[in-house]
Amino acid sequence: MLLDKEGFIIDIDGVVGKSKTPIVEGVEAVKRLKKIGKKIIFVSNNSTRSRRILLDRLKSFGLEVTEEEILIATYATARFIAGEKPGAKVFTTGEKGLIEELELAGLRLVDYDEAEYLVVGSNRGINFDLLTRALRACLRGIRYVATNPDRIFPSEDGPIPGTGMIIGALYWMTGREPDVIVGKPSKVIMEEALKVLGLKPGEVAVVGDQIDVDVAAGKSIGADTVLVLTGVTTRDNLQQMIEKHGIEPDYILESLNSIFEG
């Protein structure tokens, strides 16, 4: 039974909100889960915001959460690198939110020619100079970590490039792909979530709206997976999505609140 699980690893977009608008059933469900003593952690592939910024977003949805209940790709990336090499010198393509988390983790931000790590994250201020520096960092052969593999991000006025744009540009130019991708569906961010929760894969359920991202991430650590139909996957495209990605969620719910039915 899903409600026997001690912890829930929950995606934000498509589960408790759509961009700046709350998804009422999702928000309600999280409140109820917390009330009955479940541990929860929100996991987001966002590579431009810090936990602080995301916390404000969740609070605006009416959710009382703490920074410890948020695991965002920026923060997970910083933690991962600091775990491998404390105080490492990093060059990043990322913007403020990522830089903030890298610095908070005690990493040193330097230019491409001094760096021990290339950290690729999306940047709405990307330009030719930054791409040139990333290219040169990549050519130096230093360890290369990407916050997430997202190719396209659905913004309010249409599709915009995700972090994958930079990954793709570097791949085409140098033949290199990231040594490590932190965000979903990678197990790196999932293992980080388990560590924060202090739970084992069998003790948690992973909840999200995307089969190839959230469900795949849950499967990567062998956890039970819950697909909700409040985001990109709907009743209409469900079968097609399952066939396309060749992945079956353990549970399929209309919304996260359906967890309390039956």
Residue number with CB closer to its own copies (104 or 126): 126
Among 9, 71, 167, 226, binds its own copies (CB under 8 A): 167
Please state the closest distance from residue 219 (CB atom) to its own copies, in A. Answer: 24
The verdict on 166 binding its own copies (CB under 8 A) reads yes
Pick from 142, 81, 133, 130: which is nearest to 107 by CA?
81
189 close to 183: Cβ distance less than 8 angstroms = yes
The verdict on 162 binding its own copies (CB under 8 A) reads yes
Residue number with CB closer to its own copies (123 or 257): 123
Please list, in sequence order, all residues whose beta carbon lies within 8 angstroms of the beta carbon of residue 122, skipping any fewer than 6 positions away. 47, 48, 94, 95, 147, 150, 153, 161, 162, 163, 165, 166
The verdict on 243 binding its own copies (CB under 8 A) reads no
Residue number with CB closer to its own copies (157 or 261): 157
The verdict on 140 binding its own copies (CB under 8 A) reads no
The verdict on 127 binding its own copies (CB under 8 A) reads yes
The verdict on 141 binding its own copies (CB under 8 A) reads no
Structure tokens belonging to residue 155: 């913004």
CA–chain centroid gap for 221, Å, is 15
Residue number with CB closer to its own copies (44 or 48): 48
Query: What are the residues facing 221 on neighbouring strands?
Result: none
Residue number with CB closer to its own copies (135 or 242): 135
Residue number with CB closer to its own copies (169 or 189): 169
What ranges in 161-255 are assigned the alpha helix state H? 164-174, 187-197, 216-220, 238-245
Q: What residue type is 232 in one-letter code?
A: V
The verdict on 125 binding its own copies (CB under 8 A) reads yes
Query: Segment near its own copies (CB under 8 A), from 39-47, 160-168, 226-234, 236-244?
Result: 160-168
Sign, CA torsion 172/148/26/4: positive
Pick from 127, 143, 224: which is nearest to 182 by CA?
143
Among 62, 68, 106, 173, binds its own copies (CB under 8 A): 173
44 close to 13: Cβ distance less than 8 angstroms = yes
The verdict on 123 binding its own copies (CB under 8 A) reads yes
Query: Rule CB under 8 A: which residues touch its own copies?
Result: 123-128, 131-132, 135-136, 139, 151-152, 158-162, 164-174
